[in-house]
Amino acid sequence: MVNFPIPDNVTGYLASALLVCLLIRLVLTLLRLSEGLSKQRPQPSFRSIFWGFKVGENANDYFQPFIVGFLELLVYPVLLAADKPEYIGAWLGLKVLPKLGVWSTQRETYQRFLIGNALVIVLSYFLQRFFYP
């Protein structure tokens, strides 16, 4: 049986994960905003992209990637502390599969996906090092 440790400061852990997730959302919003600068069409506002509403045809994310990222930031440090990084790799594989064909035509979306996941993994490592010394 695998022992998954719980941090001593659960409130600090939750608050840190939420803050980190907001920071990642901010970075990804800025990246998405910069993608539209070169195109000759109306640009959605920073606020609409950040909150995930009214950002183009079929482009609303309804803040769902933020929720998934927050859950990842809660779970990844625990998995790293338990020395079970293979679960993270399996989850990333499951996330990639449904979108494989779409990303060949939507390079910006694919790059944002990679950047977002890389930020979650790197910052999860730092959360793990801070909360699981």
Task: Name the DSSP letter for residue 52.
Answer: T
Query: Is pLDDT larger for residue 128 or for residue 55?
Result: 128
Q: What is the pLDDT of residues 36-81, one digit of tens each?
A: 666 666 677 788 888 887 655 556 677 888 999 999 999 999 999 9
Closest C-alpha among 2, 4, 25 to residue 74: 4
Distances (CA, A) of 63 to 29, 47, 67, 68, 123: 11, 12, 7, 9, 20
**Whole-number pLDDT of residue 41:** 65
Query: Residue ranges of the domains in the chain?
Result: 22-131
Q: What is the pTM of this model?
A: 0.86
What is d(CA 16, CA 30) in angstroms, rounded to the nearest whole number?
21
pLDDT at residue 94 above 90?
yes
pLDDT at 105: 84
